Amino acid sequence: MARILFVDDHPIYREGLRRALEARIEGLEVAVASGATEARTKIAADPSIALCLADYRLVDGDGFELISGLRASHPSVAVGLLCGEPTQALAAGVRGIGGVACLPKELDTDELADAVQTILDGDEAFPSPIAGAGGTLMSQRRRDILTFASKGMPDKLIGEELGITESTVRNHWHHIFRRLGVNNRTEAVTRALRQKII
């Protein structure tokens, strides 16, 4: 059972996202807060919250300031932004404070669920430094897998290189194929190279 907190001042978007993520990620509970003050209160009262995703613009403050403060006061809680226009500079700022995500709200539900699952699995979810034609979002872990695969390494060796199991590598491939719209490793590597993801 995983529990996350989503902070956004738009009630329709907030509730829609909560329902969609809970429907797509088994065992996930999504708590919601309308602003920074409520978010701090909920995290202080609930030690089971593993991740806080906040909008950048909140009614009572700045999402980046919120997650920066949470990194200091609750270092066991992973933090990130889910906002309208995440820039590379903003993503670098989030990464600089030890955050794990800077995601655009334009992601469809499956992509967002994939990103949240990636974070809960211990990885990061940031936009690629150079996105392809579709603005493909790929975590650093999955870019590493593609890079090693482009050098001809099998899943077992990739897993050893990254310190993860072979089955975890295969699970990442499933998400990579879906994200890139391909059916096998060769197609995935080819498309990743063409879109400058690796």
Tell me the per-residue pLDDT of 83-101, one tens digit each, with 9 for 90 and over.
Answer: 887 777 888 899 999 999 9
pLDDT attached to residue 134:
43
Average pLDDT over residues 151-172: 91
Global pTM?
Answer: 0.71
* pLDDT mean across residues, the chain: 89
Asked if the structure places residue 163 within a domain, the reply is yes
Q: Is there a single domain that holds both residue 23 and residue 96? A: yes
Q: Is there a single domain that holds both residue 7 and residue 45? A: yes
Indicate the SS3 state at residue 7.
strand
Quote the Cα angle for 60-62-66, to 5°.
Answer: 95
| Least confident stretch, 7-16, 47-56, 127-136, 158-167 | 127-136
Asked if the structure places residue 19 within a domain, the reply is yes
pLDDT attached to residue 172:
87
CATH of residue 152's domain is 1.10.10.10
pLDDT attached to residue 137:
61
Q: Is there a single domain that holds both residue 93 and residue 180? A: no
Asked if the structure places residue 8 within a domain, the reply is yes
Q: Is there a single domain that holds both residue 6 and residue 94? A: yes
Distance of alpha carbon 180 from alpha carbon 136, whole angstroms: 7
pLDDT attached to residue 15:
94
DSSP codes joined into one string, 46-114: -TTEEEEEE-SEETTEEHHHHHHHHHHH-TTSEEEEEESS--HHHHHHHHHTT--EEEETTS-HHHHHH
pLDDT attached to residue 132:
41
Range of the domain at 174: 140-194
Structure-token match 């919601």, residue found? 32
What does the pLDDT look like over 36-48, one tens digit per residue?
999 999 999 999 9
Average pLDDT over residues 141-147: 89
Distance of alpha carbon 22 from alpha carbon 186, whole angstroms: 33
Asked if the structure places residue 63 within a domain, the reply is yes
Average pLDDT over residues 59-69: 95
Asked if the structure places residue 180 within a domain, the reply is yes
Q: Is there a single domain that holds both residue 95 and residue 186? A: no
**CA 66, 81, 117, 12: dihedral to nearest 10 degrees?**
90
pLDDT at 168 over 80: yes
pLDDT attached to residue 142:
85
Q: Is there a single domain that holds both residue 111 and residue 183? A: no
Asked if the structure places residue 132 within a domain, the reply is no
> What is the number of domains present in the chain?
2
Asked if the structure places residue 93 within a domain, the reply is yes
How far lies 149's CA from each of 123, 158, 175, 193, in Å? 19, 8, 15, 11
Q: Is there a single domain that holds both residue 17 and residue 80? A: yes
